[in-house]
Amino acid sequence: MLRFTDVSYEYQTRNAALQALGGLSFAVEEGDSLVIIGPSGCGKSTALLLACGLLQPSGGEVLVAGRPLDAPRQSTALILQDFGLLPWKTVLQNAALGLEIRKVARRERENRARAALQSVGLGDFLQAFPRELSGGMRQRLALARALALDVSLICMDEPLSAVDTMLRESLQDLLLVLWHERGYTSLLVTHSIEEAVFLGRRILVLSARPGRLSALIDNPGMGTAAYRGDAAFYAKCSELRRALAGEGDAANKGNAVEENGVASKAVAAGKGAFDAR
């Protein structure tokens, strides 16, 4: 479904080129769930934007469904940290936005958006504006927008980092259920070890910047909400924590960069790509 082959990416900062990814290779099978985790500033978000076609690699190749990616793909959806909702559109309009851009007729897109909103429990808030929703509801709306598109690949950049723990777990459960029901390929970036183990059938640990594959952990036990209380879950969390510990040290010694700094650079680079069009 998704294959990175020796992918590197450089940001042009004012004074120098900053290498965010240095030769990253991995593959995700159709319908699988891959979580990317790594130390701050390791290029996690960059990898995600590359997978969505919003950035172009400086070196190497990104293939989605066997084809190189030179522009955002119609059947990929991206969910960002701040949800990427448009405050001037109602819940229904936000959920139908992807379909509107794809020029789906009004009646059909509203029906599909309504169904998607129903499936995330927002069926009663169609005419509300995003500012009238709680953080968890906004998150579910962002999810509904992706679901309405009926896409085959959903990329998520720390989608649950802005909600509190209790809500976070119920949204994780929702993500799990939807992944089972819909059968899409899921690519999730997180900095939470528990979230990675709960939602990732495979967990990719990135090295400190420039990001490379440091470890790929299989997690066959995931897939049920009960896993969270399982002994195997804790064992897997410890395994992941050990794998991350080495990388965290390396990052702290040398070139640790604020995650937000890199993320905003990624956004700036995305903007550059937009302007170049």
Partner 1 sequence: MPADRPSAMPAPAASSRPAEPAPAAPAEPPSAAPPRPAVYPAPAAARRSRRALLRVGGYLAALAAIALGWQITALAINSPALPTPIASVEMLIRYAPQLAPQLAISLYRVVISMLLGTALAVPIGLAIGRSPRLDAVLAPILYILYPIPKIVLLPVLLVLLGLADAPKIVLITITIFFQVLVTVRDAARAVPEQAVLSVRSLGARRWDVYRHVVVPATLPELFTALRISSGTAVAILFFAEAIAGSSGLGYFIVDSWAMIAYPRMFAGIIAMAMMGVVLYEVIDALERHFTRWRG
Number of Cβ within 10 Å of residue 60's Cβ equals 17
**Distance between CA atoms of residues 220 and 267, nearest Å:** 34
Residue 185 C-alpha from the chain's centroid: 11
Question: Taking a C-beta distance cutoff of 8 angstroms, is the pair 176, 201 a contact?
Answer: no
Using rule CB under 8 A, residue 97 touches partner 1: yes
**List 25, 74, 118, 134, residue binding partner 1 (CB under 8 A):** 74
Instruction: Between 149 and 203, name the residue whose CB sits nearer to partner 1.
Output: 149
Question: Taking a C-beta distance cutoff of 8 angstroms, is the pair 145, 120 a contact?
Answer: no
Question: Taking a C-beta distance cutoff of 8 angstroms, is the pair 58, 10 a contact?
Answer: yes
| DSSP classification of residue 211 | B
In whole angstroms, the minimum distance from the beta carbon of 176 to partner 1 comes to: 23
For residue 125, give both structure tokens. 């808030």
**Distance between CA atoms of residues 170 and 91, nearest Å:** 21
In whole angstroms, the minimum distance from the beta carbon of 85 to partner 1 comes to: 8
Using rule CB under 8 A, residue 140 touches partner 1: no
User: What is the SS3 assignment for 79?
Assistant: strand
**List 5, 56, 58, 90, residue binding partner 1 (CB under 8 A):** 90
Build a one-symbol-per-residue string for 34-63: x at contacts with partner 1 by CB under 8 A, - elsewhere. Answer: ---------------x--x-x---------
Instruction: Between 63 and 273, name the residue whose CB sits nearer to partner 1.
Output: 273
Give the CB-side neighbour count of residue 164, counting CA atoms within 13 A: 2
**List 13, 127, 252, 255, residue binding partner 1 (CB under 8 A):** 127
Instruction: Between 122 and 203, name the residue whose CB sits nearer to partner 1.
Output: 122
Instruction: Between 127 and 255, name the residue whose CB sits nearer to partner 1.
Output: 127
| Interface contacts to partner 1, rule CB under 8 A | 49, 52, 54, 72-74, 76-78, 80-90, 97-98, 100-102, 124-125, 127-132, 145, 149, 155, 267-268, 270-271, 274-275, 277
